[in-house]
A and B are shown apart, each in its own frame.
Chain A
């Protein structure tokens, strides 16, 4: 096997692991939100397991990247791709933490019924799951357009975040007894919004890997 072929094989290994890590993250977000909507505590506990897996995958991908940096001393796009993978897994790991945080809150809710419908929160979850998938797919398929699209998608998440926040404020104003749930829902709202931000970071690393520079923020 030529040196180049060996390198390609190692890089493919990292791609495969990233896809697997991404699947665990999708499952973690899906489960934590479902645990919330269905008041399913068992499902919330599953998220803790997923999060452990995600942490382990971060370590193993990190090791694989270190090994490539050490053994192959890659340059040019090879170097940027391995560096981007190293940075991306930090964002992915944080997303895992946030899913866990949501699951922890879900466990605290009792069968008391919610002060508001969870439609917007569910919508946010669906969008951020797609964003994470798109980020990882953009990396693997070297798809610059898809990577760049994440920023615009994040605006939708931010819109929902603001809506949920306004609703919660209104509910507390109406009845101070709503405050406890409102605060918890706000936290969940914030975690989901942060997941969107991490997905945007992933897109930016993909852009760096492909072009050699970070996107310029116009905001």
Chain B
């Protein structure tokens, strides 16, 4: 993988056994931009986002055809180092999922996995990552406390810090704020806006206003297909496809 972290997908089909979950997906996702995936439940957004770090590998019966390139390299090619791929592509889920260990150990987990042992080095990574995630001020005096004691919003920012500690290039976020209150949501949206300077961000969201606030481009999914993909302002003010318009205006979905 070279230094570019754009995502290019060509003719991607994905099957769970006999069921086709993604149908001929073609999309170019630019680096250092926020791309939002919207669409009704079960339309394939989450399935698709997981193809970028090969999380579908873990699902039995899951079969993918077509081409997914990150920085120009086919990530499904034989010999792809999946661990390295997942280091480069961080993921944050809907429900905050800190490990049942200290705040410090959560953030230090990935760097330790990749062989960093020196305390000063780890300290620096932990501080930097927590600062990037906007959590440092709130936890700097209790880094050794268990992460499970944090509030939901703090736990989610911890998960973002944990993802950032691996120094990824791409951040995948699957409904990262749907379980959070408006203040925590606001903090995470602000964070996404700051992070896009350095990272390529792909976010699945059910919150249309969130997509309009934070994303540069939006893709509308329906029944496993991308129906419309456009600049966010364009898609929400003047969608070209009737189905996209009907969905975002609440006529169905």
Contacts and interface: CB of A to CB of B under 8 A. Distances in A.
A76 B250 contact: no
Nearest to A74: B249
Given A4-B250, A4-B251, A212-B238, A76 B209 contact: no
Contacts of A3: 250
Given A3-B250, A75-B248, A80 B237 contact: yes
A79 interface: yes
A194 B111 CA distance: 70
A75 B209 CA distance: 9
Contacts, number: 32
Given A212-B237, A213-B238, A77 B209 contact: no
Nearest to A4: B250
B247 to A, nearest CB: 10
Interface string A77-88: 111100000000
A7 B250 CA distance: 10
B212 interface: yes
Interface residues of B, number: 12
Contacts of A213: 238
Contacts of A78: 249
Interface in B14-30: none
A178 to B, nearest CB: 54
A76 B235 CA distance: 8
A130 to B, nearest CB: 30
Contacts of B209: 73
Chain A, interface size: which category? 10 to 19
Interface string B229-253: 0000000111100000100111100
Interface string B195-233: 000000000000011001000000000000000000000
Contacts of B239: 76
Contacts of B249: 4, 74-78
A142 B193 CA distance: 38
B250 A80 contact: no
Interface in A24-74: 73-74
Contacts of A80: 237-238
A76 B238 CA distance: 5
A25 B241 CA distance: 38
A164 to B, nearest CB: 41
- Give the one of B209, B236, B238, B248 with max A CB within 10 A: B238
A212 to B, nearest CB: 3
Contact of B237 (A4, A7, A73, A76): A76
A108 B203 CA distance: 67
A213 B238 CA distance: 9
Contacts of B248: 75-76
B42 to A, nearest CB: 21
B96 to A, nearest CB: 27
Contacts of A7: 250
Nearest to B248: A75
Interface string A178-215: 00000000000000000000000000000000011100
10 contacts: A4-B249, A4-B250, A73-B209, A75-B212, A75-B237, A75-B248, A76-B238, A76-B248, A80-B237, A213-B238
Interface of A: 3-4, 7, 73-80, 211-213
Given A3-B250, A75-B248, 10 more contacts: A4-B249, A73-B209, A75-B236, A76-B238, A76-B239, A76-B245, A79-B236, A211-B238, A212-B237, A213-B238
